[in-house]
Amino acid sequence: MSPKGRDILKSMVGAVEPARPETPSAPPPHRPSGAVKAMNLSLGRLGEEAAAAKSLRESLASGDKVLEIDAAVVEMSFIRDRIPVDRDPEFERLKQSIQESGQQVPILVRPDPVKAGHYQAAYGHRRLRAAAEIGVPVKAVVRKLTDEELILAQGQENGPRVDLSFIERALFARRMDEHGFSRDMIAQALATDKPETSRLLQVAQTIDPEIILAIGPAPKVGRPRWLAFAEKFRETGGRKKVQAAIAGAAFQTLESNSRFDVIWKALEEKSAPQRIEQTLRTQSGGTLASVSRSGKSFRITVKSAAFSEFLARRLAGLAAEFEEENEGK
């Protein structure tokens, strides 16, 4: 029997085996028989079950119980970490699974600090939404949590488990920052370091939240492209380009990753030079000419024959005056 097996048996029956002195020459190791292997595997499984039972006992001792609660009295966390989407196949599969097999994993909630008889979810928002849409109670562990404890539980459960996209993590970081949480707390909630936390906040604080929500989670778009997006967004005219792309008729029909691609292309397009129109008038209000400027282009359309002749006589002098003013430049 393996040492691990003996330890488990001792813990089960309370036996105490005295220590034995080491012998000068230990027998050579041998390959255990099939029966011994099977027994060791059984003891290993027994050990795992014992650990699970211990964890359950500790959870119950701490007051954690799985309850069935009306989904209508459970509200989302006061800080949202997911960006809602119109079409979510993963959510539909989750809902179908709960309909067919029931809710396997409970959510974590706390008593609502304001509304008696209501709760706030720390994590499990998709399971909560699924239960509400199906019309069944939601299974939940109820625990008293401070705001900080709720956010830590929410971030550390959701971050690695439901694969929040980069921009969802960035927006979550911004929302925590707006609620007054420290950078250390934000980093803990996101299970990341301070430099990465700074990058997340840099992106989310540069791009308007409305634009992020319009694009959606964009799960295939990672940190490098979002950082580059933020840089392009800062450029003159960046916001107008993005808003124009979002207003396009086909934009709402696209899935999130494609929406990002459309806006990325819009940001890469060079802006057309701004056109300036001007009308030259006499003191009495009559029109002499119209002027149009765009980039290096300058066009003047003269409406008066007399003014046309006047300009023609002055053109050579204007050119000489220009050269004199710009000499040496």
CATH of the domain at 62: 3.90.1530.10
User: Quick count: other Cβ atoms within 10 Å of Cβ 82?
Assistant: 19
Quote the pTM value: 0.63
Task: List the domain range (segments joined by +) for residue 186.
Answer: 164-257
The Cα–Cα gap between 217 and 169 comes to 9
Among candidate residues 145, 162, 179, the one where a domain is terminated:
162
The pLDDT, as a whole number, for residue 63 is 57
**Spans in the chain with pLDDT lower than 70:** 1-63, 158-162, 271-274, 295, 328-329
Both 152 and 207 in one domain: the answer is: no
Closest CA to 211 of 229, 190, 235: 229
The pLDDT, as a whole number, for residue 271 is 61
Query: What's the number of domains the chain is made of?
Result: 2
Residues paired with residue 121 on neighbouring β-strands, in sequence order: 109
Both 211 and 152 in one domain: the answer is: no
Both 147 and 212 in one domain: the answer is: no
The pLDDT, as a whole number, for residue 327 is 78
Among candidate residues 209, 239, 257, the one where a domain is terminated:
257
The Cα–Cα gap between 18 and 13 comes to 15
In a domain, 67, yes or no: yes
Class of residue 326 by CB neighbours under 10 A (exposed 0-12, middle 13-18, buried 19+): exposed
The pLDDT, as a whole number, for residue 315 is 83
CATH number at residue 184: 1.10.10
CA distances from 154 to 66, 190, 204, 240 (A): 18, 9, 19, 35
Strand order from edge to edge, sheet including 275-281: 275-281, 287-294, 297-302
The pLDDT, as a whole number, for residue 16 is 38
The pLDDT, as a whole number, for residue 62 is 56
The pLDDT, as a whole number, for residue 207 is 96
Among candidate residues 104, 133, 162, the one where a domain is terminated:
162
